[in-house]
């Protein structure tokens, strides 16, 4: 951009991608690019393949990705950006790859004292007998692909017969089976490793699947969640601990279940959460006084700082 100071980047907002979440990403990208423009010159790039879009320049651009799912959150795009010398917002390739793997993430956060629901990892080619799985986890089980975003493939099974049908229908891939925790679903966003407000998610179907996430009217949200100060403090502490243990950077969103007995169970860590104005991360930010435009600027601020420092060191 003519007149741009050498240390001042143009923000390149990536959206689209090749995963099933392409349409969600296109929406996020549009909102983020518009919000970023209040503080920085911004350009939006629609990603149509598993490659960097044409026109990006590491000497000019700081990248803010709103890609979701495979080749968005799994470290694929991040590895390309790093190899090409770009500064970008969000977690690096190693952390992104870890957090996209639900089983590895569970193991990582459990090792630092964050409680997870009883669960089992398996490949569809060697799937467990439904009766054995029910004996281990109970009749109510949540089945989900181990490496997939936005609740794609998630199934809530509520009976032994239903579990037999669900397990029998798995044909390929790695899967995670978790004991269904009865209670309230909570989520919290983090900025620079610090937790913001806790939000409660109340899907009318009882499960926060893809339809509940993206179909208007199927889910209620309470921001902030109506929980005790003690529970809120614990959720935030667990989130900051998990964020650090997984090597995350800049921002993320973490999801939990609060059981009817008052126990907090980690569900997953999302390194590139949805970024429409009505998405969960903006709801969490609003709880601490950050509107959508301010949040978007905060998301990219550390990457802008890294860009400026890199340009200064090259002088």
Point out the catalytic residue in the list 72, 76, 197, 274.
274
Point out the catalytic residue in the list 253, 256, 265, 279.
253
Q: Among this protein's residues, is 110 annotated catalytic? A: no
**Predicted confidence (pLDDT) at residue 24 exceeds the cutoff of 50:** yes
Query: 15 near 45, Cβ under 8 Å?
Result: yes
Q: Among this protein's residues, is 253 annotated catalytic? A: yes
Q: What integer is the mean pLDDT of 150-178?
A: 89
Q: What integer is the mean pLDDT of 164-180?
A: 94
**Predicted confidence (pLDDT) at residue 32 exceeds the cutoff of 90:** yes
Among 297, 292, 251, which Cα is nearest to 39's? 297
Q: Among this protein's residues, is 55 annotated catalytic? A: no
Beta strands 251-259 and 264-270 are antiparallel
Exposure b/e, 86-107, CB count within 10 A at least 16 = b: bbbbbbbbebbbbbbbbbbbbe
Q: What rounded mean pLDDT belongs to the chain?
A: 92
Map residue 176 onto helix, strand or coil: strand
- Banded model confidence at residue 289, pLDDT cuts 50, 70, 90: very high
**Predicted confidence (pLDDT) at residue 22 exceeds the cutoff of 60:** yes
Point out the catalytic residue in the list 19, 28, 65, 270.
270
Distances 89 to 182, 251, 292 between C-alpha atoms, Å: 35, 8, 16
Point out the catalytic residue in the list 214, 240, 247, 293.
214
Beta strands 155-157 and 183-191 are unpaired
Q: What integer is the mean pLDDT of 133-156?
A: 87
Residue 315: per-residue pLDDT:
61
Q: Which residue has the higher pLDDT, 208 or 203?
A: 203
The structural domains of the chain, ordered by start, are 10-90+292-314 (3.40.50.20), 99-116+182-286 (3.30.470.20), 119-179 (3.30.1490.20)
Residue 163: both structure tokens together: 């579990």
Q: Among this protein's residues, is 73 annotated catalytic? A: no
The proportion of the chain whose per-residue pLDDT surpasses 90, expressed as a percent, equals 83
Q: Among this protein's residues, is 261 annotated catalytic? A: no
Q: By mean pLDDT, which of 42-46, 61-65, 206-210, 219-223 is the weakest?
A: 206-210
Q: Among this protein's residues, is 150 annotated catalytic? A: yes
Point out the catalytic residue in the list 16, 19, 21, 200.
21
Residue 311: per-residue pLDDT:
77
- Banded model confidence at residue 166, pLDDT cuts 50, 70, 90: very high
Residue 207: per-residue pLDDT:
65
Q: What integer is the mean pLDDT of 245-260?
A: 98
Point out the catalytic residue in the list 255, 265, 279, 284.
255
Point out the catalytic residue in the list 22, 178, 268, 284.
268
Main-chain dihedrals φ then ψ at residue 159, nearest 5 degrees: -155, 160
What's the pTM?
0.92
Q: Among this protein's residues, is 274 annotated catalytic? A: yes
**Predicted confidence (pLDDT) at residue 150 exceeds the cutoff of 90:** no
Residues 6+ apart with CB under 8 A from 30: 15, 44
Q: By mean pLDDT, which of 200-204, 215-219, 300-304 is the weakest?
A: 215-219
Q: What integer is the mean pLDDT of 7-33?
A: 92
Tens digits of residue pLDDT in 90-118: 999 999 999 999 999 999 999 999 999 99
Q: How far apart are CA 108 and CA 121, in angstroms?
A: 14
Q: What integer is the mean pLDDT of 205-225?
A: 76
- Banded model confidence at residue 75, pLDDT cuts 50, 70, 90: very high
**Predicted confidence (pLDDT) at residue 3 exceeds the cutoff of 70:** no
Q: Write down the residue that tokens 């126990």 correspond to.
A: 263
Q: Among this protein's residues, is 22 annotated catalytic? A: no
């Amino acid at each position: 951009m003519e007149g741009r100071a050498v240390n001042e980047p143009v923000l390149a907002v990536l959206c689209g991608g090749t995963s099933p979440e392409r349409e969600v990403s296109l929406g996020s990208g549009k909102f983020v690019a518009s919000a970023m423009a209040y503080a920085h010159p911004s350009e939006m790039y629609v990603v149509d393949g598993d490659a960097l879009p044409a026109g990006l320049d590491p000497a000019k651009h700081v990248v803010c990705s709103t890609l979701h799912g495979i080749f968005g959150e799994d470290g694929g795009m991040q590895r390309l950006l790093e190899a090409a010398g770009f500064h970008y917002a969000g977690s690096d390739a190693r952390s992104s790859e870890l957090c996209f793997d639900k089983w590895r993430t569970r193991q990582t956060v459990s090792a630092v004292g964050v409680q997870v629901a009883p669960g089992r990892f398996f490949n569809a080619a060697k799937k467990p007998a439904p009766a054995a799985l029910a004996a281990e986890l109970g009749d109510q089980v949540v089945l989900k692909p181990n490496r997939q975003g936005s609740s794609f493939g998630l199934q809530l099974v509520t009976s032994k017969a239903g579990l037999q049908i669900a397990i029998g229908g798995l044909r390929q891939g790695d899967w995670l089976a978790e004991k269904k925790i009865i209670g309230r679903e909570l989520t919290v966003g983090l900025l620079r490793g610090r937790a913001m407000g806790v939000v409660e998610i109340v899907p009318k179907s009882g499960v926060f699947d893809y339809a509940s996430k993206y179909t208007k009217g199927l889910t209620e949200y309470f921001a902030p969640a109506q929980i005790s100060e003690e529970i809120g403090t614990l959720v935030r502490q667990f989130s900051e601990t998990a964020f650090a243990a997984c090597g995350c950077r800049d921002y993320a969103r973490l999801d939990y279940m609060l059981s009817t007995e008052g126990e907090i169970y980690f569900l997953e860590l999302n390194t590139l959460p949805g970024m429409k104005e009505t998405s969960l991360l903006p709801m969490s930010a609003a709880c601490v006084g950050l509107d959508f435009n301010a949040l978007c600027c905060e998301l990219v601020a550390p990457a802008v700082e890294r860009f400026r420092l890199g340009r200064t060191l090259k002088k």
